Structure 1
Amino acid sequence: MQRRSLMTLGSSLALSARGARAQAAPLRCAVGPFQPTAGDTRRAYEPFFAHMAAAVGRLLELTVTTDWAGIAVALSTGQVDLAWMGPWGYVLARDRARAEALAIVKYQGKPTYHAIILARPDLAIARFPEDAKGLSISFADAGSTSGWLIPHYWFKTQGIDPRTYFKYRDGASHPANDIAVASGQVDLATDYDRNFAAMVAAGRVREDQARIVWRSEPLPNDALAIRAGLDAALAARLRDAALAIDEATAARVMPANYTGWVAAAPDSYAMIEAAGRTLGRIGGG
Structure 2
Amino acid sequence: MSWLVRVGLIVLAMAWGGCTSAPPPPTPPGPAGNPATAGSEAPAAAGAAGAPAGPTAPTGVPAPGGSRVLVIGNIPSENVLDKSSRYVPLCRYLGERIGATVRFKFEPDYDTIVKGMKKREYDFVMPGSLGYVKGQPAGYRAILAPVSRAPFYQGSIITRTDSGIATLSALAGKKICFCDKGSTSGYLYPMVLLREHGLVAGRDFTPGFVKGHDNVALNVFLRQYDAGACYDGAHREAFKTEPEKAAQLQVIALTDRIYNSPLAARDDLDPALVASFVATFRGLASSPEGLEVLNVLGTNLTGYVEVVDSDYDGVRKMLQYELAQEEKK
Q: TM-score range by the shorter chain?
A: 0.7 to 0.9
Paired residue for 1:113, among 140, 145, 153? 153
Find the aligned partners of 1:46 and 1:215 in 2 and give their Cα distance. Answer: 35
Asked if 1:34 is matched to 2:77, the reply is: yes
Paired residue for 2:118, among 76, 79, 104? 76
- The equivalent residue for 1:157 is 196
- The equivalent residue for 2:37 is none
* Residue identity in the other structure for 1:72: V
- As a proportion of its length, which structure holds more helix? 1
Q: Is the CA contact (8 Å cut-off) linking 1:250 and 1:259 kept in structure 2?
A: no
Q: Is the CA contact (8 Å cut-off) linking 2:133 and 2:316 kept in structure 1?
A: yes
What is the CA deviation profile of residues 190-240 of structure 1, one whole-angstrom value per residue up to 9, with x for unaligned ones?
111243232232338722221111111221112111123222221121112
Asked if 1:55 is matched to 2:123, the reply is: no
Find the aligned partners of 1:166 and 1:208 in 2 and give their Cα distance. Answer: 25
State the identity %. Answer: 22
CA RMSD of aligned residues (A): 2.3
Find the aligned partners of 1:68 and 1:45 in 2 and give their Cα distance. Answer: 20
Asked if 1:178 is matched to 2:217, the reply is: yes
- Secondary structure at the aligned position of 1:83 is classed as strand
Compute the TM-score of the two structures, normalised by the length of structure 2.
0.71
Change (3 A) 1:274 1:49: farther
- The equivalent residue for 1:231 is 270
Find the aligned partners of 1:111 and 1:245 in 2 and give their Cα distance. Answer: 16
Paired residue for 1:67, among 88, 109, 112? 109
- The equivalent residue for 2:304 is 261
Aligned-pair CA distance for 1:49: 4.2
Paired residue for 2:279, among 240, 244, 256? 240
Asked if 1:24 is matched to 2:67, the reply is: yes
* Residue identity in the other structure for 1:52: L
- Secondary structure at the aligned position of 1:246 is classed as helix
Structure 1 residue runs of 5 or longer lacking an equivalent are 1-22
Find the aligned partners of 1:25 and 1:204 in 2 and give their Cα distance. Answer: 44
1:194-233 correspondence runs (5 A): 194-203=233-242, 206-233=245-272
Which of these two proteins has the greater Rg computed from alpha carbons?
1
Q: Is the CA contact (8 Å cut-off) linking 2:91 and 2:101 kept in structure 1?
A: no
Change (3 A) 1:41 1:162: farther
Find the aligned partners of 1:44 and 1:262 in 2 and give their Cα distance. Answer: 23
Structure 2 residue runs of 5 or longer lacking an equivalent are 1-65, 325-329
Q: Is the CA contact (8 Å cut-off) linking 1:87 and 1:220 kept in structure 2?
A: yes
Q: Is the CA contact (8 Å cut-off) linking 1:112 and 1:218 kept in structure 2?
A: yes
Q: Is the CA contact (8 Å cut-off) linking 2:133 and 2:315 kept in structure 1?
A: yes
Aligned-pair CA distance for 1:171: 4.5
Query: Which deviates further from its counterpart, 142-151 or 246-255?
Result: 246-255
Find the aligned partners of 1:27 and 1:112 in 2 and give their Cα distance. Answer: 28
Find the aligned partners of 1:204 and 1:88 in 2 and give their Cα distance. Answer: 30
Change (3 A) 1:162 1:205: farther
Change (3 A) 1:40 1:165: farther
Aligned-pair CA distance for 1:45: 4.7
- The equivalent residue for 1:100 is 141
* Residue identity in the other structure for 2:155: A
Aligned-pair CA distance for 1:249: 4.6
Change (3 A) 1:56 1:245: same
